[in-house]
Amino acid sequence: MDLSFNAEERAFQGEVRSFIAKNLTEEMKRATALTPSVFSDPPIGMAWQRALHSRGWGAPGWPVEHGGPDWTPAQRWIFESECARAGVPNVNVMGVKMVGPVIIGFGSPEQKNFFLPRILSGEDYWCQGYSEPGSGSDLSSLKTRAVRDGDDYIINGTKIWTTHAHHANRMFALVRTSDGPRQQDGISFILIDMKTPGITTRPILTIGGDHEVNQVFFDDVRVPVANRVGDEGKGWTYGKYLLEFERGSGIASAKLREGLRAITELAESDLTGRAIDSPDIATRISEVEIDIDALEMTELRVLSALQTGQNPGAVSSILKLRNSEIRQAVTRLGADVIGHDALAVEPMRPLYKLNHESALPEDMLTVVPEYLNGRAYTIFGGTSEIQRDIIAKMMLGI
């Protein structure tokens, strides 16, 4: 594999750097640095999405006919890496990287014409209605039901761990439209306007003290049948397709490398009493760096398939598994590097809006919140146990 850039690719790298320098404000950069989650505060993330859209870069993985930039795999890699190094905000991944590809792959022409431009522009902010109480890893047991009534479905039930539902104006959800011999049968994929009467959102505060996830209740919520993606009862297929994009899209290694770099700088500083001098800390930093190198090579191998709009398939489970495990290793290392200062946790969110003096230097503010938030990495999007099962069945034939 030739990892060197040619002259055209180096010119594109310069173009990306110039764009970032022009459009990434200090507020955006600071807010991103002080965000312990993978989800940016919506005003920050969507401002960046609008800047990308104005340049034609709003959806790097989409086909060009739907607004993608028609990049080569090398250009996609350069863009993602430069964004990670610069510390740009995360866009609404549930729109661009999750429901967008499903609408492109299975949506009607009317759905594509209406929803895709609104995802690109940032006009719509999406959340995901998958998990339910009692239906997490066993998602096919979901019970939220949609009953046909003329040109509408009437939906009753509840979804849980719904990230940013309190910000979102739209949800994509899996609902049960019929009962079949298999749990996976009779599930449909529905697009829901969050302002529809009968929807209630209740906050859930997580271990880090932040309001990121919610429980959403549906009481006789009327949704047009026209908002169903694809065929009725085929939602399980579309949902799995979406999860492959959630687990296997993007370049996680670049952000992991930046996270490790920040922890290494802390370990080398007087703030931590030069924690790097501990043989244990130094060895763990080297081990994580090797793991990131290996993940990077895997990402490079699958980037071409993603660029053509294909779903990544079972290899997405490898990417999800290793990204989750390495992310937790980086955040665990950070907590150990700052030592007893980890006890001074700042409970307020978002951190970039703090209006009082913190007990910790700003470089340390996110270390423990990132560690606490990162405990969920091996759970959301499919637990590590589920990913290993998929790898065993789909790739190893076990």
DSSP summary character for residue 350: S
Known catalytic residues are 246
H/E element, 108: none
pLDDT reading at 2 higher than 60: no
Contacts of 51 (CB under 8 A, 6+ apart): 23
pLDDT (tens digit, 9 = 90+) per residue, 250-295? 578 989 999 999 999 999 999 889 999 999 999 999 999 999 999 9
* Residue 86: per-residue pLDDT: 94
Q: Is the dihedral of CA 308, 309, 314, 317 positive or negative?
A: positive
Residue whose token pair is 């005003």: 43
pLDDT reading at 358 higher than 80: no
H/E element, 369: helix 367-373
Mean per-residue pLDDT of the chain: 89
DSSP string covering 175-214: EE----SSTTTTEEEEEEETTSTTEEEEEEE-TTS-EEEE
pLDDT (tens digit, 9 = 90+) per residue, 176-219? 999 988 888 999 999 999 999 999 999 998 887 788 999 999 99
pLDDT (tens digit, 9 = 90+) per residue, 305-347? 555 555 566 777 888 899 999 999 999 999 999 988 777 666 5
Alpha-carbon Rg for the chain, nearest whole angstrom, is 21
Residues 125 and 167: beta-carbon distance below 8 Å: yes
Paired residues of 157 in beta bridges? 218
Q: Residue range 85-113: average pLDDT?
A: 93
Percent of the chain with pLDDT over 70: 91
- List the one residue out of 354, 205, 342, 349 whose CA is nearest residue 275: 342
Going by pLDDT thresholds of 50, 70 and 90, the confidence category of residue 123 is: very high
Q: Give the amino acid at 297.
A: M
Residues 172 and 98: beta-carbon distance below 8 Å: yes
Contacts of 15 (CB under 8 A, 6+ apart): none
Between the alpha carbon of residue 318 and those of residues 59, 123, 173, 277, 388, the distances in Å are 23, 33, 25, 33, 8
H/E element, 217: strand 211-224
